[in-house]
Each structure stands twice: as C-alpha cells, then as structure tokens.
Copies of this chain bind each other. A is one copy, B any other.
Amino acid sequence: MLFGKGQITQLPEVLARYGKNVLMVYGGGSIKKSGIYDTVHELLNDFTITELSGVEPNPHHTTVQRGADLCKKNKIDVILAVGGGSVIDCSKVVAAAANYKGEAWDLVIHPERIDKVLPIVTILTLAATGSEMNKGAVITNTDSQLKLGTGNWNMIPKTSILDPTYLYTLPAIQTAAGAADIMSHVIEGYFKKTDDAFVQDRFAEGILQTVLKYTPIALENPTDYPARANLMWASSMALNGLLGAGKEGAWSCHPIEHELSAYYDVTHGIGLAILTPRWMRYALNETTVDKFCDYARNVWHMEDNANKFELANEAIDATENFFREIGIPMSLKEVGINDSKFEVMAEKAVRYGGLANSYVPLDKQAVLKILNACR
C-alpha cells in the first residue's frame, strides 16, 4: 500500500519488478479528464502499454474475456488497474484468465480452477469496494444475468497506490455511494453470529465513525485532504480481512444487492444504502437488539435508553437519514427499479448468497419483505 500524495512516482519501479509489458485497465475515461491517464503514460514511457478500456461499473464477463485475450495475444507481464472496484475486480479475473485455457467466466463460477495469476498493480480512484487490498472480485454475466463473486489469494494486488488527491474530482454521488459501500462492508461483518469478537467489533465501529465523520466533510469540501485520506484508508481496511477475521456466517445485504444490479444498472453502493436500513429493521429482534444497541452507542454515540428497541430503532433511523443526507436516493423507485423482478431476485439471492447462514437467516419471503420495504 503506497499511501499518500504523489506516490504514483513509484509506479515505474513497482511495475518493472514484473516486466515491461503492461495491460492498463480502466473505465469510462474519467482518468483522462483527471490527468491520471497522461501521468501514467508519461511515467511509463519506456514500457509497452496495451489498453483495456470501457470497463463497466458492474464489469461484464465479456469485458473480462476481452482482457484475457489481450493478455494472451500480447504476452502481458503485469496488469495495471486504474480505477475503482469495478476496474480492479475486472483486472483480477483478467489476470487469472490470462493463464487459463477455457472461458474467463468459468473462473467466476469455479474459483477453485484459478491457479496462476498475472501480477496486478492498482491505482485507486474511488474509495469504496476495498478491492485494492483483497482477493475478491465480482463479475456480471450479461447473458445469464448472474452477478457473482470469485476469489483467490493469487489475485490480491501486489501493490496499490492510494493517493487521496485522486478523489478530489469525484462526482458527489460517487463519494456518497462509496461511503455507503464501505459502511455496508463493515455492517455485514459487524452483524454476525460469532460472539466475543471484541477487537474486530471495535475496529468496525472505528471505520463506521470514520465514514460518518468524513463523508459530509468531503462532500462539503471535495479537496479536504484528511477527509479523503481517511475515507480512502477506511475503504481498504473495511474489506481486507481485518474486520471479518474469525467471524462466521454469510453476509445479508450484498447478496440481495447483487440481484438488483444484475438486472438493473444501479450503482452498487446506492443499492446497499437502500437495502441496509430496511434489512436492519427486519433483523431487529429480541436476540439481536443488544448488538443494535452497541451500534447505537459506539457508532452513533447515542445516550443509553431503558427501552432497548427504542435505542436500536433510533440508530437504524439515523443510518437511513445519514444516507439520505449525503444525497443517496433512498428508494428503489427513485433508481428506476420496480417490483416486477422481486420474485426471481429473492429466489436467486437466497440460492447464491447463502442467506440461510446470515445473521438473521433469510428465506425468500424475508428477502421479498425487505425488497418491498425498499420500494
């Protein structure tokens, strides 16, 4: 993790460890506007750069295949991912598929087939997914409308360059959606069945407090360095294995969100923000209320309340209001999603998401209830 302003100057040295033949992966071109694209080309003037551009916000399996083909054809040594989670996720599976004879999509449905992986270096331009410091990737198959995760330790980036100033030019909605994504990663691990993970839970509360404090500051003043730096570091810490260490069980909201964005063009973090407080209301019960009270006290610094459910609900309401206040549309309707696919989405979320093993076990009816509360 090369963290801080100007760390990009180390890029040539970092890449040269692996070779001179680079596949540069990026998205829709915001890196051209921000100048990072030109900086990379200037720094790498004695490297050979092949480009894979136009990676979608929810990267398509066809794009991954295109990247893998480019690697094979051009004998790529190392992949340089410049972007957010989508670009990095795409790069990870490209890097694995470059050494695989079959279709790239195989490696999403059969992670155990991943073996050799090209080295990956990232330049992060969005604080959100944590992909810059973990082994996971989520890819969407646009034919079968499956959005699935895969992962392998060999896919973890060798080096990630985290320069908080690269977040200065983000559109406000992306800052907000990124914040929601970070919070969701933390919340998914915080609300798990494993008791007594005291260290991990205090770390989780630390990340949540970071997002609550700095997101409004970054929105108010996009070039506030401490705000951007803390959000960027929070994104990496939220999903690098630290908070989830030793915790068992499935996540709750992510599998449902993956169904939303498999069928609709919705930003991942926005889908998560819409789902999270509604899931919380569903999950709140006699067994879980104490944990929600911890959340209220330690994250929101709410005063203790003799009525535990009142305190818990206050924190859930605060969560929903926070998302709304940072500018996230907080209903499915506002992001163009109606109830026509709720049935199939609920079925698939349960089937692929292992929701029977989540904090409060979710079946199809439960997911439908949550989706309906999000309308």
Q: Chain A 207-229 against B: per-residue CB contact (8 Å), 1 yes, 0 no?
A: 10110011000000000001001
A246→B232 CA distance, assembly (Å):
13
Interface members, chain A 230-247 (any B CB < 8 Å): 230, 233-234, 237, 242, 245-246
Chain A window 1-26, contacts with chain B (Cβ cutoff 8 Å), 1 for yes, 0 for no: 00110000000000000000000000
Chain B proximity of A283: nearest CB distance (Å)? 23
Given A4-B246, A202-B209, A202-B210: A195 in contact with B226 (beta carbons within 8 A):
yes
Known contacts A3-B245, A3-B246, A246-B3; is-contact A202 B206 (Cβ 8 Å)? yes
Cβ 8 A contact of A196, one of B202, B207, B226, B246: B226
Q: Which residue of B lies closest to A206 (CB)?
A: B202
Q: Which residue of B lies closest to A234 (CB)?
A: B199
A202 interface neighbour in B4, B205, B226, B229, Cβ under 8 Å: B205
Is residue A300 contacting chain B, with contact meaning CB distance below 8 A? no
A233 CA to B214 CA in the complex, in Å? 28
Number of A interface residues in the complex (CB < 8 A): 24
The contact of A210 among B198, B207, B242, by CB within 8 Å, is B198
Contacts of A100 in B (CB 8 A): none
A202 to B203 Cα, complex, angstroms: 7
Q: A4-B246, A245-B3, A246-B4 are in contact. Are A213 and B234 (CB under 8 A)?
A: no
Q: Bound state CA distance, A230 and B195, in angstroms?
A: 11
Q: How far is the CB of A134 from chain B (nearest CB, A)?
A: 15
Add 16 more A-B contacts to A195-B226, A202-B205 (CB < 8 A): A3-B245, A196-B226, A196-B229, A196-B230, A198-B209, A198-B214, A199-B206, A199-B207, A199-B237, A202-B203, A202-B207, A202-B209, A202-B210, A203-B206, A205-B206, A233-B245
Interface residues of chain A, those whose CB is within 8 Å of chain B, are 3-4, 195-196, 198-199, 202-203, 205-207, 209-210, 213-214, 226, 229-230, 233-234, 237, 242, 245-246
